[in-house]
Structure formats: structure tokens, C-alpha cells
């Protein structure tokens, strides 16, 4: 009976310790810490991959860009979109500004996306929106400039016509003056 009592007490102690372990805040903190470490590791891998892409030649970058575009069309994962947006898109030579904005907004809509990267994407979205507004204004000014150039060319043609008529009148006047003398 004494052995049974010792064994029961040992089982009870182990059970209580197991319950405390499961309900302890340290365990949830460890899980959150592990998730944060995995997320940070994933971000570091993306950044290292981006650095590798940055060292590629222009032709190699175009090949990788095409491959990642196809991969994104198949899987639509945010890591591929990230690489397309930030690592391969110098001067929008991989995807244009409109496509970049669409990808950024798609990434932004994901709930499980890292808050720090979300902040970076928000800033990038704001910059691209401003770039779009500036490009629209630039296009408007270019159209106005082209219109004014066209009007200027017409005015120059009319001026040349007036100058040639004045010169013709001067020749006529000189001829009349010579005959009357």
C-alpha cells in the first residue's frame, strides 16, 4: 500500500507539473519568440536573395524576372511578389509601376504579413501613387507643350508668309519708284 501511495503521489506531482507547463505564459512566449525568429529568418533570406539578384547581369535579371513572374502566376505567394517588386525591378524594367502597385496592394491585403514589411510596403504604395500622379501631370504638360509647339510652328509659317509678302511688296515699291524717277 505504501508503494501504491508513493506511486500515486508521483503521478499526481507529474500531472500537476505537466499542467503548469502547458498553462505557463513562458510556453506561449517561447512559441511567439520562435514564430518571430522564423519570420525574421524568412525576411533575411529574402534580403539575401535580393542581394544575389542585384549582382546579376541585365540578361540574367530578365531571365530570373520572367521565371519569377511565371512562378507568381502559379502560386501567388508574397515572397515571389516581394522579389519581383524590390529585387528585380530597377527602373521598372521587370514589371511596370502599375503592376508593382497591384502586387503591393495584394501583399498589403494579406493578414499574416510582417508589420515591418507592411510599413515598408505602405510607404512604397504611397511613393508609387505619387509617381503616378506626377506622371499624369507630366503627360498633361507634355500634351500642352506639344500643342503649344504646334501652334508656334503654325505661327512661324504664318510669319514667314507675312515676311515673304512684305518682301514682295518692297520689291514692287522699289520697282515703282525706279519707274517714276
Per-residue model confidence as pLDDT tens digits over 8-60? 545 545 554 554 444 455 555 555 566 667 678 888 888 898 888 888 888 99
Give a yes or no: residue 47 inside a domain: yes
Give a yes or no: residue 1 inside a domain: no
The DSSP call for residue 83 is: I
Give a yes or no: residue 93 inside a domain: yes
Give a yes or no: residue 89 inside a domain: yes
* 42-61 CB burial, b ≥16 within 10 A, e <16: eeeebeeeeeebeeeeeeeb
Grid cell listed for 82: 516581394
Closest Cα to residue 117, out of 148, 90, 149, 79? 79
Give a yes or no: residue 25 inside a domain: no
Give a yes or no: residue 180 inside a domain: no
Positive or negative: CA dihedral 44, 50, 53, 55: negative
Q: Find the angle CA(99)-CA(72)-CA(74) to the nearest 5 degrees.
A: 130
Residue with cell 514589411: 117
Give a yes or no: residue 9 inside a domain: no
pLDDT value of position 68: 92
For the chain, residues with pLDDT lower than 50 are: 1-2, 4-5, 9, 12, 16, 19-23
pLDDT value of position 91: 80
pLDDT value of position 28: 53
pLDDT value of position 76: 86
CB 91 within 8 A of CB 81: no
CB 68 within 8 A of CB 80: yes
Give a yes or no: residue 163 inside a domain: no
| Domain with 146 in it | 32-150
pLDDT value of position 87: 84
Instruction: Kindly report the pTM of this predicted structure.
Output: 0.61
Indicate the number of domains in the chain: 1
Amino acid at each position: 500500500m505504501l508503494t501504491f501511495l508513493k506511486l500515486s503521489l508521483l503521478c499526481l506531482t507529474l500531472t500537476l507539473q505537466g499542467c503548469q507547463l502547458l498553462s505557463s505564459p513562458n510556453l506561449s512566449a517561447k512559441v511567439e519568440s520562435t514564430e518571430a525568429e522564423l519570420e525574421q529568418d524568412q525576411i533575411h533570406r529574402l534580403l539575401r536573395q535580393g542581394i544575389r539578384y542585384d549582382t546579376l547581369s541585365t540578361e540574367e535579371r530578365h531571365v530570373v524576372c520572367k521565371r519569377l513572374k511565371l512562378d507568381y502566376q502559379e502560386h501567388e505567394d508574397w515572397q515571389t511578389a516581394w522579389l519581383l517588386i524590390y529585387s528585380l525591378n530597377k527602373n521598372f524594367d521587370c514589371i511596370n509601376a502599375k503592376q508593382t502597385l497591384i502586387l503591393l496592394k495584394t501583399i498589403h491585403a494579406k493578414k499574416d504579413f510582417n508589420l515591418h514589411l507592411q510599413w515598408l510596403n505602405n510607404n512604397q504604395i504611397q511613393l508609387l501613387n505619387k509617381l503616378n500622379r506626377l506622371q499624369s501631370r507630366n503627360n498633361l504638360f507634355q500634351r500642352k507643350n506639344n500643342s503649344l509647339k504646334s501652334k508656334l510652328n503654325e505661327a512661324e509659317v504664318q510669319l514667314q508668309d507675312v515676311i515673304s509678302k512684305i518682301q514682295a511688296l518692297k520689291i514692287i515699291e522699289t520697282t515703282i519708284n525706279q519707274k517714276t524717277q
